[in-house]
Amino acid sequence: MILIYVLNLAISTACAMLRFRVSLLPMKKPVLTPLAESLPATVPFVGPEAAERAMGHPFKARLGANESVFGPSPKVIQAIEKSSEELWMYGDPESHDLRIALAKQLNVQSDEVVVGEGIDGLLGYAVRLFSGPGDTVVTSDGAYPTFNYHVAGYGAQLVKIPYKNDFEDAVGLAAKAHETGARMVYFANPDNPMGSVHDAAVVQQLIDALPDQCLLVLDEAYIEFAPDGSSPPIDTSNPQVIRMRTFSKGYGLAGARVGYAIGHRDTIKAFEKVRNHFGMNRAAQIGAIAALDDQEYLSSVRETVAAGRKRIAEIARQNGLLALPSATNFVTIDCGKDAAFAKSVLDALVARGLFVRMPFAEPGNRCIRISVGHNEDLDLFEQLLPIALKEATG
Amino acid sequence: MILIYVLNLAISTACAMLRFRVSLLPMKKPVLTPLAESLPATVPFVGPEAAERAMGHPFKARLGANESVFGPSPKVIQAIEKSSEELWMYGDPESHDLRIALAKQLNVQSDEVVVGEGIDGLLGYAVRLFSGPGDTVVTSDGAYPTFNYHVAGYGAQLVKIPYKNDFEDAVGLAAKAHETGARMVYFANPDNPMGSVHDAAVVQQLIDALPDQCLLVLDEAYIEFAPDGSSPPIDTSNPQVIRMRTFSKGYGLAGARVGYAIGHRDTIKAFEKVRNHFGMNRAAQIGAIAALDDQEYLSSVRETVAAGRKRIAEIARQNGLLALPSATNFVTIDCGKDAAFAKSVLDALVARGLFVRMPFAEPGNRCIRISVGHNEDLDLFEQLLPIALKEATG
């Protein structure tokens, strides 16, 4: 075993030394690694602030990033404000107290949980650990682009399969993983951007059908909004699954950047090899613990979000459009025509001060995606949608 | 040029496919990449919280991590507390307003600045961009271990040269970079853990002496405490230098995790290829802007820190020890004997509730390192040092 790894390393190094890294014109300038050189300097998501700067005025409503406009519990705000006197201290690099609180809530051990700078940060670490040049990773065409960004960033090959009836295709993902010998499969349940959710049984089938050496990245960012029975029981004895969850959605703390991953302790321990140990904001750790502690508030948000989804669906219906069923804090609305039409509707809404987004890929890009907002946010949407539709049609 | 990169990629991929990634016993478990497998799951710094948990009680004073016990400006606290109502929103992924404020202060353009999750996070991105397997990186033996962690983490080869009279050896680093064809050189000015600082002219000599394709990572985390004339003028037209600075030290915001890098716009732009765009806490961005805005507070901290350094040196002198000159917010004290003795002194202080650290490598590890604290923190140090010395001697 050790011999094989030594051999691997020797081969890697020898190969690296083969790389040509010359400038054709000799100049005094550092040279990117070939992998870094090959990457585009693009951003998976441009923030609404950039659009606001371009427009010269702020959005009237911010329903494009599936943030929770309802914010965190007042107890969280209180805990965070109280903690500002501690901000001179680095956060605990182990996020110990938060991991203990999470472990208790999830009924796992604290060494089966790792905390990171949002799910985005944790996805990067996971890809770095398990995939590199020559490896294949499978996802759905139109699923979370930041995962794809990391796969490209570490030089692995991304293979995409289409959605099936606006659901991620669990059976198809497993089949494609076998066909390609994939190292990782990405699967979000509930799904973003379509809002759909599979039963736990379907997810479990995917888990059971994975190739032997394949890791399932089960992104459960929206799980707090999903109906009971959407998530198979957490089984940390299975090294083939790592779940990603966040305080950005249900707990209303997107600005704090706190994500966590749950998995087999060997997988979780491997994050120590690569993560930014002092990457976590101290107040964010404290706020997340307070958030976990106020499940009553989470329940109330869940109810408010369910009501908001109904209202968005009703607005869609009044405009002759179909809202897809949603297990998240957003609703994806089928605009009934092609991607160009949906894009026109989106642009018309954005131009009038409503920040919304739309799915990137066929066939989801016939839709627009609206996060649940306050009543006044949805009033604006109700007012603008007919105008936007008219403009897009005309 | 393009052809060469395509060729590089083809070679990399072919090499990767050569790697053996087999388990001797077939089992259902994902396999780490060979590089990840080769890395130890160790942490560059264990946090004081871990020691507190092991001891079962908190430290009486926290002078081990060069945090600023004086904290951020009251205006920063105010701005952060006010921003807690915005925490439901993701932070601007471009940290635009903060970069504008930094650019203005530094007299550079905003696309010559990138903001990240502390200098630690930015060091990781920089290493990832410029060094990989087969590349050499040069640093000083005993310099910042988190940089070394990242170099190992991306598979590059680290070469260390010794300190010279408790200073990083600028001439030696340049010579070693030429000798090894290094891709990067790490140089901290002022230095941690020795507290020493070079004149700007020495730093400029190092810059001018770099091999053509080598990047100097100039870590200026402690620059706010250094005397005028320690830092050469910022020249973003030179692609061979990237400077790292932070809000963790002078600005008293270690818990917020805000670092920034200044460099040539091509280098800065490259960070977009790999960074965690949504990694920055929203309140932290707001707090950092407020911190920059209160230079008066920074000046007062600088004075308080200078007085604290004097007092630490005096305490050392009273105990027959030599305090090294410091251009930082800590003082490194030569315990006058070997590493084992310094370690005993350190252990005796820690056991009595004073969190301090010591340099890791010869010959610096004959010393202990004390961050400037409040008067009551230094009272405790004054009280404990003779006891610790006696215990270490006895």
Q: DSSP letter for B91, please.
A: P
Confidence grade of residue B275 (pLDDT, cut at 50, 70, 90): very high
Q: What is the pLDDT of residue A41?
A: 78
Q: What is the pLDDT of residue B1?
A: 45
Is CATH 1.20.140.10 the classification given to domain B74-293? Answer: no
Domain ranges of chain A: 48-68+296-393, 74-293
| Closest chain B residue by Cα to residue A276 | B121
Mean pLDDT, range A97-112, rounded to an integer: 98
Are residues B30 and A4, on separate chains, in Cβ contact within 8 Å?
no
Mean pLDDT, chain A, whole residue set? 94
pLDDT tens, position by position, B103-126:
999 999 999 999 999 999 999 999
A143 or A5, higher pLDDT? A143
Say if residue A191's pLDDT is above 60.
Answer: yes
Residues in chain B within 8 Å Cβ distance of A42: 272
What's the gap in Å between the CA of B175 and the closest CA on chain A? 16
Residues of B in contact with A214 (CB under 8 A): 30
Please, what is the end-to-end C-alpha distance for chain A in angstroms? Answer: 67
User: Mean of the pLDDT values across residues B222-232?
Assistant: 97
Q: Extract the tokens encoding A191.
A: 């799904």
B191 contact A CB<8A: no
Contact B5 A34 (CB under 8 A): yes
Nearest of A242, A236, A253 to residue A289 by alpha carbon = A253
pTM: 0.93
Of all residues in chain A, the percent with pLDDT exceeding 70 is: 93
Class of domain A48-68+296-393: alpha beta
Rounded average pLDDT over B258-273: 98
**Whether the predicted pLDDT of A171 surpasses 50:** yes
Cα gap B184→B182, rounded to integer Å: 6
The pLDDT of residue B375 is: 98
- A332, β-bridge pairs: A369
Q: For chain A, how big is the Rg over CA atoms in Å?
A: 22
pLDDT band at B3 (very low <50, low <70, confident <90, very high): low
Average pLDDT value over all residues in chain B:
94
Instruction: State whether A274 and B153 contact (CB < 8 Å).
Output: yes
Secondary element (H or E) of residue A97:
helix A96-106
Q: Give A207's pLDDT tier (boundaries 50, 70, 90).
A: very high
Question: Do A67 and B89 count as a contact with CB atoms less than 8 A apart?
Answer: yes
Judged by a CB distance cut-off of 8 A, whether residue B85 touches chain A is: yes
| ipTM score for this prediction | 0.93
Q: Are A264 and A239 in contact (CB under 8 A)?
A: yes
The pLDDT tens digits for A314-342 are 999 999 999 999 999 999 999 999 999 99
Is pLDDT of A59 > 90? Answer: yes
In the prediction, which pLDDT does A27 show? Answer: 84
Environment class of residue B293 by beta-carbon count within 10 Å: exposed (0-12), middle (13-18) or buried (19+)?
middle
Report the first-to-last Cα separation within chain B, whole angstroms: 67
Q: Residue B316 above 50 pLDDT? A: yes
Q: Where are the alpha helices (DSSP H) in B84-169?
A: 96-106, 118-130, 145-153
pLDDT of residue B42: 75
Q: What was the pLDDT predicted at A7?
A: 52
Nearest to B16 among A30, A85, A133 (CB): A133
Q: Does residue A91 sit at the B interface (CB-CB below 8 Å)?
A: yes
Q: How far apart are CA B371 and CA B330, in angstroms?
A: 4
Which chain B residues touch A133 with a CB distance below 8 Å? 12-13, 15-16
Which residues contact residue B297 at a Cβ distance below 8 angstroms, ignoring those fewer than 6 apart? B72, B73, B74, B75, B291
State whether residue B252 sits within 8 Å of chain A by CB: yes
Of A8, A93, A253, the CB nearest to B47: A93
Q: Is A250 in CB contact (< 8 Å) with chain B?
A: no
Q: Which residues of A touch B255 (CB under 8 A)?
A: 86-91, 281-283
